[in-house]
């Protein structure tokens, strides 16, 4: 039985799909229609009590939170595919640090921008201009730190592509949709890093594939 | 004898206390080097030198693995506090430090905190992430608004308080259900997932009137009593109390 990934159309789930491809792990996808409220069905809530995606099922094992899922598969399949965790405890520490930075510093800022600019109509209230301005400033500050970091090492955790870089792929893609790619492009090392990681075959496959939608 | 890990920062910081709890559970010797924010010690060049410069001016507490990874003999966990504390968007990387400590010291102290079994470990990670993504934002907003803003003579934002309380209630409903199925979040043992909740909850329960959110829920209340009653956490709480002045 292959790994099932629920909610493949959503950005957080794409984090998982890229990881599985990098690790050469077979998977199938199960679409979840959030507009129809499938994520609030009791059956789904049994898998993911917060009612969000993604969640995976691997035989009898269920796991939610995309960053927990990618950690699990990166470890489980450490000896196959791309090594996403580094070669020592110290390298792993660096991966964890930058993955945490993505989760706690990068993600909240970019997620607010995405929701307010691209999905305001879905949240049922008008776009919050103040939140957009503040989030863009915060994101800029994080990217300044990344610029400094990436001037010293090719990827965030060191000279190897890792979970920390991978985790940035799904939401950073939205910068183009929002017309905010300049945030990357005006920073030389961030731009080089983004050009590199977004051209990985795994990301190109995930970002360009259409996962079947339920009619 | 291993050189003690140096932890810089005030123990009242939720980031610092998370790391201290972890070090205590793992029987790792540490040296707490208080940094007196009111005296601007966090802005002194020597202190700033050991930082990865995150949010230089506004940052709440930043925990940096920089030296931890670069020093073989004496790993240093450096924390950079600031008067503005704690904003969700400035959360430090204390969880990354905890993960590192748990891997590095896997063979000593409490070995059940972070299982070596991949399935169990992933389940722990699931709930650590849930803490970071779902529990932390509303709870730390409440901690800031109710515990710190008054101390810092900042105006409280009633809208944020109300919204955060609503969000936190929803999360605690999920926890109430989960903790009716298992003793701790990730299973039958106390793990990093539970530990990660200690700092914010401690503030809410002991310093604000929102403690009821935890104590009125049967399973959450039972869980909170158990995890906050651990020796390691009691020691951390003790460290947060004002220390008596050294005699001349």
Per residue in B186-227, pLDDT (tens digit) is: 999 999 999 999 999 999 999 999 999 999 999 999 999 999
Q: Cα dist. A172→A149, A195, B136 in Å?
A: 18, 11, 23
Q: Cα dist. A203→A22, A58, A81, A167, A180 in Å?
A: 9, 22, 15, 11, 20
Does residue A119 have a pLDDT over 90?
no
| ipTM value for the complex | 0.87
Band of residue B33 on the pLDDT scale cut at 50, 70, 90: confident
Does residue B67 have a pLDDT over 50?
no
CA distance B203 to chain A (A): 20
B171, closest residue in chain A (CA to CA): A50
Does residue A151 have a pLDDT over 90?
yes
Does residue A53 have a pLDDT over 70?
yes
Backbone angles phi, psi at B63, to 5 degrees: -105, 130
The whole-number average pLDDT for the span B226-247 is: 84
pLDDT digits (tens, 9 = 90+) for A8-50: 999 999 999 999 999 999 999 999 998 899 999 999 999 999 9
Q: Are B11 and B236 in contact (CB under 8 A)?
A: yes
Does residue A144 have a pLDDT over 50?
yes
Band of residue A127 on the pLDDT scale cut at 50, 70, 90: confident
pLDDT digits (tens, 9 = 90+) for B81-138: 332 223 332 234 899 989 989 999 999 999 999 988 999 999 999 999 999 999 999 9
Does residue A159 have a pLDDT over 70?
yes
Which chain B residues have any C-beta within 8 angstroms of a chain A C-beta?
A: 52-55, 65, 68-69, 88-93, 95-97, 99-100, 103-104, 118-119, 121-123, 125-126, 128-130, 132-134, 137, 171, 174, 177-178
What mean pLDDT, rounded, does chain A reach? 93
Q: Is A92 on the interface with B (CB under 8 A)?
A: yes
Paired residues of A47 in beta bridges: none
Buried b (16+ CB within 10 A) or exposed e, A28-60: ebbbbebeeebbeeeebeebbbbbbbbbbbbee
Does residue A170 have a pLDDT over 60?
yes
Contact B68 A50 (CB under 8 A): no
Paired residues of B80 in beta bridges: B62
CA atoms within 13 A on the CB side of A33: 6
pLDDT at position B197 is 98
Q: Give the residue, B66 or A199, on which the prediction is more confident.
A: A199
Paired residues of A5 in beta bridges: A29, A56
Q: Give the residue, B60 or A17, on which the prediction is more confident.
A: A17
Q: Are B17 and B85 in contact (CB under 8 A)?
A: no
Q: Using the Cα atoms of residue B64, residue B101, residue A67 and residue B186 in order, give the sign of their dihedral.
A: negative
- Give the span between the Cα atoms of A156 and A149, in whole angstroms: 7
Contact A93 B123 (CB under 8 A): no
CA distance A10 to chain B (A): 17
Q: Is A141 on the interface with B (CB under 8 A)?
A: yes
pLDDT at position A32 is 93
pLDDT at position B80 is 36
Q: Are A168 and A106 in contact (CB under 8 A)?
A: yes
Does residue A129 have a pLDDT over 50?
yes
Q: Give the residue, B20 or B243, on which the prediction is more confident.
A: B20
A99, closest residue in chain B (CA to CA): B96
Q: Give the residue, A121 or B25, on which the prediction is more confident.
A: B25
B167, closest residue in chain A (CA to CA): A50
CA distance A199 to chain B (A): 28
pTM above 0.95, yes or no: no
């Amino acid at each position: 039985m292959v790994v099932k990934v629920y909610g493949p159309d959503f950005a957080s789930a794409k984090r998982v799909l890229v990881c599985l491809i990098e690790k050469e792990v077979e998977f199938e996808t199960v679409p979840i229609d959030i507009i129809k409220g499938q994520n609030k069905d009791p059956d789904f809530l049994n898998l993911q009590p917060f009612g969000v995606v993604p969640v995976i099922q691997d035989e009898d094992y269920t796991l939610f939170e995309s960053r927990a899922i990618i950690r699990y598969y990166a470890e489980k399949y450490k000896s196959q595919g791309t090594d996403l965790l580094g070669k020592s405890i110290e390298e792993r520490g660096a991966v964890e640090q930058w993955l945490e930075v993505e989760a706690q510093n990068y993600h909240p800022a970019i997620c607010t921008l995405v929701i307010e600019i691209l999905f305001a109509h879905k949240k049922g209230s008008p776009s919050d201009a103040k939140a957009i301005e503040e989030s863009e400033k915060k994101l800029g500050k994080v990217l300044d730190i990344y610029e400094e970091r990436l001037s010293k090492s090719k990827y965030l955790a060191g000279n190897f592509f890792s979970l920390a870089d991978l985790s940035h792929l799904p939401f950073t893609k939205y910068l183009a949709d929002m017309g905010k790619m300049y945030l990357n492009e005006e920073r030389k090392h961030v731009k080089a890093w983004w050009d590199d990681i977004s051209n990985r075959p795994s990301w190109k496959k995930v970002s360009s594939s259409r996962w079947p939608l339920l009619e | 004898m291993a050189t003690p890990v140096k932890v810089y920062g005030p123990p009242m910081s939720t980031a610092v206390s998370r790391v201290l709890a972890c070090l205590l559970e793992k029987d790792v010797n540490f040296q707490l080097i208080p940094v007196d924010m009111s005296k601007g010690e966090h802005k002194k060049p020597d202190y700033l030198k050991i930082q990865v410069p995150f949010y230089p001016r506004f940052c709440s507490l930043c925990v940096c693995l920089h030296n931890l990874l670069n020093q073989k003999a004496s790993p240093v966990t450096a924390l950079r506090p600031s008067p503005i504390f704690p904003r969700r968007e400035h959360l430090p990387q204390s969880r990354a430090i905890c993960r590192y400590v748990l891997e590095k010291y896997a063979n000593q102290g409490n070995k059940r905190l972070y299982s070596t079994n991949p399935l169990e470990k992933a389940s722990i990670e699931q709930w650590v992430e849930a803490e970071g993504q779902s529990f932390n934002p509303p709870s730390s907003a409440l901690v800031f608004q109710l515990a710190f803003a008054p101390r810092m003579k900042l105006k409280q934002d009633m809208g944020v308080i109300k919204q955060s309380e609503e969000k936190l209630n929803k999360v605690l409903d999920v926890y109430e259900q989960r903790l009716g199925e298992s003793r701790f979040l990730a299973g039958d043992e106390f793990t990093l997932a539970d530990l990660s909740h200690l700092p914010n909850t401690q503030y809410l329960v002991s310093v604000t009137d929102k403690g009821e959110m935890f104590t009125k829920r049967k399973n959450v209340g039972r869980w909170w009593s158990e995890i906050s009653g651990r020796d390691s956490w009691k020691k951390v709480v003790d460290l947060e109390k004002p220390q008596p002045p050294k005699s001349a």
